[in-house]
A and B are shown apart, each in its own frame.
Chain A
Amino acid sequence: MTEQQTEQAPAFYNQTWDLEYRHALGDTAGRFLNGLAEGKIWGIKSQDGRVIVPPRSFDDHTFTKNTEWVEVGTTGVIEMSTVVYEGFRGLPDPPYAIGYALLDGADTALVGYIRGVDLTDQEHAIEATKIGTRVKVVFAEKPSGTSADYWFEPID
């Protein structure tokens, strides 16, 4: 092969995966998401007494079905959080804050965006979203039937 041919040889093939899915949410997640439209956070009780949020229909500690629905509080405490300043292709533009909050009456933590915090100053953002921060659940005015229908905001 001559050098000229090498230079002209095609080097890349561009490809995009454009795949569509219609994921079944199931009865349990469906009920949780439906509750968001009513301003409620539903959990479910396991046979060993844990209140699991978000609710799952089976328990991994006792290997039994969870059937007892329990409404938990719409306030709680941040158990872990991060503030994202880097953009990733296909994901939302930064900055944004996310965290897991242990809601009052729940034994497991729920993930959500943390809003109502100025993220432009990193130090302030970290302090305002730190572990132990009391938060409230805020519900979307126009529910979409997804987990985007709630987020957390620090309680002043």
Chain B
Amino acid sequence: MVNVGIAGFGQSKLVTRRTDVTFPELVREGVELTLDDAGMTMDDVDAIVYPLAPDALIGVNNGERWVVDALGAAGKPMMRVNNGGATGMSAVLAAWTHIASGEFDVVLVAGADRVSESGSAQSVLNKMWDPAYERLVPLNTITMLALSAQRYMHLYDSTERDMALVAEKNRYHASLNPNAHLRKPITVDEVLESRTLAWPIKLGDACPATTGAAGLVLVSEKYAKEHNLQPAWIRGIGQNTETFWMGDRVGPKHRGDHADAVSLEEAFQTAYEMAGVTDPKTQVDVAEVYAPFSSVELHVIEAAGLAERGGAPALLREGKFRLGNEGTVVNPSGGTLCSNPIAVTGTIRVGEAANQVRGRAGAIQVPGARVAVASAIGGDHQFYSTMVLSTDLEEI
């Protein structure tokens, strides 16, 4: 199998609205930022993988058609990937297979989202649920994770304050990240006092609806050597899937509790085995994990092996996972909680992790970071992508 590296990462400033550009123009912005970062041009690109989640969020059906020109894809192989919230990372995994197979040397992943243009996002997302059984009870991405958060609190004797600790940490990190959407720090008390959306999720626990573009350039080891590139190396990958039915994640015979992210844990194990990570707590310097609500980060930290099940809150209370403190730093960029351009949120997780192990993360750099993990989640906690990255190809 061919070794694959990440040689460039571009992202626009992540904001609520952009009215100066059309959607394809925004995608083009992501392409240019990405190629510039890699020091490449479109001529260097062999193939393109394009991430886009539900079309109804941007309001143009089969949006991949609309952005072919923005991506420079005419005359080249291109495919769209849609795995819900995991889309932006699943697209990177698809790009990895393009190169690992030996078929291509340079693959571009680039896209954009502008969630705030519709105003009906949660109505769009409600349409993910089964029309006969579940849609009339207005499930959406907030209520589905409120259910998980309540269950987590119940099983592990955790509180809303633990969720607020995550929000406070990530908003502090985002205040240092010039590209982040929510850059104003927030206190634990401010989170606790913010209005309830779907209990226990409050406004302070929730991601914003973000507009922005992002992309990555993936290269083969051969190409990297020929062009004297020092990419972030992809050392392990994982992808796993969970049942559609949330009601099947409770009860005596479930295969994974809706409080946890068991299928994500398995996806991390797959990536760790491939990368040779045996003790993530000591071997992983940085984790850029997808968690659109504070509660989600708790069980993702556990799924990543950085805490035992139910053990993340106690470590957070000790100040773990925070920039400047000892141990693995979780979401130094501020993460999905502070910026969520859905289609490319997973792409940004990988890009931020890549920048960390390349020592290019600026104000949010974790000193000496060599090994990083990234992950993303899509659907009603159904699609999970994971990745281990490192500075070099030496043993982890």
Q: Which A residues are closer than 8 A to B by beta carbons? A: 11-12, 15, 17, 21, 23, 25-26, 29, 32-33, 50, 52-54, 56, 60-61, 79-86, 88-92, 96, 98-100, 102, 106-113, 122, 125-126, 130-131, 146-148
Contact = CB atoms under 8 A, between A and B. Distances in A.
Given A79-B151, A82-B147, A82-B150, 10 more contacts: A33-B132, A79-B250, A84-B198, A89-B120, A98-B138, A102-B250, A108-B248, A110-B247, A122-B196, A122-B199
Interface string B131-162: 11110111110110011101100100000000
Contacts of A99: 147
A147 B199 contact: no
A148 B136 contact: yes
A89 B250 CA distance: 30
Nearest to A85: B196
B195 A111 contact: no
A52 B122 CA distance: 28
A149 B133 CA distance: 11
A111 B132 contact: no
A85 B198 contact: yes
A146 B131 CA distance: 9
A17 B140 contact: no
B243 interface: yes
Contact of B131 (A23, A82, A102, A131): A23
Given A91-B138, A148-B136, A100 B59 contact: no
Contacts of A80: 147-148, 150-151, 246, 250, 258
Nearest to B148: A80
Contacts of A88: 122-123, 126, 138, 140, 142
Contacts of B147: 80-82, 99-100
Contacts of B255: 61
B56 interface: yes
A147 B136 contact: yes
B198 A109 contact: no
Contacts of B75: none
B132 A26 contact: yes
B196 A111 contact: no
A113 B251 CA distance: 19
B227 interface: no
Nearest to A23: B131
A75 to B, nearest CB: 15
Contacts of B274: none
A86 B19 contact: no
Contacts of B243: 60
Contact of B197 (A26, A84, A102, A147): A84
A82 B122 contact: no
Closest 6 CB pairs of A and B: A90-B123, A109-B247, A82-B146, A29-B132, A88-B122, A79-B250
B198 A82 contact: yes
Interface in B93-144: 119-120, 122-123, 126, 131-134, 136-140, 142-143
Nearest to B147: A80
A89 B122 contact: yes
A98 B251 CA distance: 17
B251 A147 contact: no
Given A83-B198, A107-B253, A110-B247, A147 B138 contact: no
Contact of A131 (B150, B245, B254): B150
Given A88-B140, A91-B122, A83 B133 contact: no
A87 B195 CA distance: 12
Given A33-B132, A108-B251, A111-B133, A91 B140 contact: yes
Contacts of B151: 79-80, 131
Interface in B204-262: 243, 245-248, 250-255, 258
Contact of A147 (B134, B154, B201, B258): B134
B122 A107 contact: no
B196 to A, nearest CB: 4
